[in-house]
Amino acid sequence: MKNNIISSCFFILFLFVIACNENSTEPQDDIRAKPVIKKSSENYDQESFRISFPDTTSLNNISKYYSNNFSEDKRNKLIEYITGEVTKLGEDANSFNNILAITGCKLSDEYLLPTYAERAKYEGEEVWIFQITYGLGEPNFGHYKCFAFSIDTLDTLDYVGCK
């Protein structure tokens, strides 16, 4: 009887550990601060775009964690993560990769990191809102650039950046 109780306790503990690990919010692949990626029904115009961006929460999280803690490997993992999330949203990863290239996120020796991506509308046109943080000649992030890219043409419909 005593062995059955002990075995049952260990089994319950085992199930508890498995359940906790499956629901863990512990970052994977050394990505401790992740970009925000979402799809919305928001229809921005120039005024609402300038009020909403930069998205300071994602900007501050990424800037704080990766300032003086940057490597191209970490940037590549962030790009893999954001591209994977775009695919999970059912969006075209190739088109999004073009945005990454246009903004310079994929260039070597550049201190640029993605912080925010939103599939939305801008004045009725389908867009990707995309935000990056960058450092000026060193991995000390905090500067930003925010774009509204047309999905059809990849034209920049709006832009806000550091002055």
Is the model's pLDDT at 21 over the cut of 90?
A: no
Mean pLDDT score of the chain = 85
Q: How many C-beta atoms lie closer than 10 Å to residue 13's C-beta? A: 10
Alpha-carbon torsion (105, 160, 162, 142), positive or negative:
negative
Confidence tier at 31 by pLDDT (50, 70, 90): confident
**How many domains would you assign to the chain?**
1
Q: Does 15 map to a domain?
A: no
Q: Please check whether residue 29 lies inside any domain of the structure.
A: no
In terms of pTM, does the model score above 0.95?
Answer: no
Average pLDDT value for residue range 137-141: 89
What is the mean pLDDT of the segment spanning 151-159?
97
Could you tell me the pLDDT band of residue 9, with boundaries at 50, 70 and 90?
very low
Residue 115 in this model has a pLDDT that exceeds 80:
yes
For the stretch 79-95, pLDDT in tens is 999 999 999 999 999 99
Is residue 131 in a domain?
yes
| Within a domain: 123 | yes
Given pLDDT bands bounded at 50, 70 and 90, which one contains residue 150? Answer: very high
CB 115 within 8 A of CB 133: yes
DSSP notation for 83-118: HHHHHHTT--HHHHHHHHHHHTTT-TT--EEEEEEE
Strand order in the sheet with 36-44: 36-44, 112-122, 125-134, 143-150, 156-161
Range 146-159 average pLDDT: 97
In a domain, 22, yes or no: no
Whether residue 110 is contained in a domain is answered as yes
pLDDT (mean) for 101-117: 93
Residue 3 lies in a domain: no
In a domain, 2, yes or no: no
13 has pLDDT over 50:
no
29 pLDDT above the threshold of 60: no
Domain that holds residue 44: 34-161
Residue whose entry in the numeric block shows the structure tokens 């890219």: 149
Residues 105-113, mean pLDDT to the nearest whole number = 90
